[in-house]
């Protein structure tokens, strides 16, 4: 699937040898099977099973795919640069002798020089269910992600009689504003969706996102099976290690989902000029596109 063009930051890293800030969030807490490729030319660079947590704030690998990486000694002779052997794109640096893994090697790679290719061969669409503030915001963001085939705004957590906007807005319905999305696991892994979810809202905020306050705006993941439950718990535990404040996101086994009224579907796309959309949603879409350009549908 075609990817969006390189962002200015990606171009600076790959072509001008810039370095991103540590703990940018991309790929740090992922352990999904698959391979990491060069963001510029899509050449495979690393298998996911060589990735490890070095605690340094950048994705780290202790092995490379044969022939994928070329080494250059920096001009000052102090460090060894690593570049994609196919397109010569700057990736980061390699270090030996740190005793962090049995291979005693650490490829310290800029996350925005990479993109991920899931190993899944499962052709059946899967479902994910997230709540993190106003469902208009989450819907607009995830509609723009490669591999996401459908996003529906709705309610989850309460009963059918209370599954309507008026009742949910009162804050005592038991429901949470959520999105239900369908995705192709061959294109995007569930953990990549988790990464986007945790990054596009504040998971440390109790029953509030920005000006939206109430239990209907709490941060929650409704998992669809035991595998999603395990992945969500593991991801959140890893993220918490580098998050000073407690993460309050609830991870709950799936409950009945109720689609919201028609006027709440595709809301941003149909009302992009409204002040709420311009002030609250459009900047989030722009930030998402800049940070996760490898996952954005080019048409958007």
pTM attached to this predicted model: 0.94
Q: Please tell me the predicted confidence (pLDDT) of residue 120.
A: 83
Catalytic residues, which ones? 108, 134
Looking at CATH, the fold of the domain delimited by 126-295 is given as 3.30.1060
Q: Output phi, psi for 22, to 5 deg.
A: -65, 160
Q: Please tell me the predicted confidence (pLDDT) of residue 85.
A: 98
* Count of C-beta atoms within a 10 Å radius of residue 272: 13
CA distances from 187 to 35, 48, 119, 191, 232 (A): 12, 15, 9, 12, 19
Arithmetic mean of pLDDT, 237-257: 96
> 185-207 pLDDT, tens per residue?
999 999 999 999 999 999 999 99
SS3 assignment, position 98: coil
Residue range 8-118 forms a domain whose CATH class is mainly beta
Delimiting residues of CATH 2.170.150.20 domain(s) in the chain: 8-118
Helix (H) or strand (E) holding 253: strand 250-253
The rounded percent of the chain whose pLDDT value lies above 90 is 92
Delimiting residues of CATH 3.30.1060.10 domain(s) in the chain: 126-295
- Residue 104's DSSP bridge partners are none
Instruction: Place 121 in a pLDDT band, splitting at 50, 70 and 90.
Output: confident
Q: At what angle do helices 190-199 and 226-240 cross, to 10 degrees?
A: 40
DSSP string, 200-223: SS-TTSTTEETTEESGGG-EEEEE
């Amino acid at each position: 699937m075609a990817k969006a063009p390189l962002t200015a930051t990606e171009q600076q890293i790959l072509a001008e040898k810039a370095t991103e800030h540590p703990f940018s969030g991309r790929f740090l807490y992922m352990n999904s099977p698959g391979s990491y490729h060069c963001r510029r030319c899509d050449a495979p660079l690393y298998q996911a099973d060589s990735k490890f947590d070095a605690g340094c704030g950048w994705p780290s690998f202790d092995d490379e795919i044969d022939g994928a990486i070329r080494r250059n000694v920096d001009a000052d002779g102090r460090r060894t640069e690593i570049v994609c052997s196919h397109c010569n794109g700057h990736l980061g640096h390699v270090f030996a002798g740190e005793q962090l893994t049995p291979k005693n090697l650490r490829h310290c790679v800029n996350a925005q020089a990479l993109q991920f290719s899931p190993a899944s061969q499962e052709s059946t669409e899967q479902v994910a269910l997230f709540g993190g503030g106003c469902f208009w915001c989450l819907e607009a963001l995830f509609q723009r992600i490669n591999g996401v085939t459908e996003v529906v705004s709705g309610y989850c957590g309460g009963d059918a009689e209370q599954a309507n906007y008026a009742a949910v807005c009162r804050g005592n319905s038991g429901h949470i504003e959520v999105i239900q999305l369908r995705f192709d696991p061959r294109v995007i892994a569930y953990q990549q969706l988790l990464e986007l979810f945790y990054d596009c809202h504040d998971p440390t905020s109790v029953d509030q996102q920005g000006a939206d306050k109430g239990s209907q705006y709490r941060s929650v993941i409704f998992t669809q099976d035991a595998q999603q439950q395990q992945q969500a718990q593991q991801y959140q535990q890893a993220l918490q290690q580098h998050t000073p404040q407690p993460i309050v996101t609830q991870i709950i086994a799936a409950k009945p989902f109720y689609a919201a009224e028609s006027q709440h579907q595709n809301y941003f796309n149909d009302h992009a000029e409204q002040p709420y959309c311009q002030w609250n949603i459009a900047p989030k879409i722009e930030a998402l596109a800049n940070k996760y350009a490898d996952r954005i549908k080019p048409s958007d």
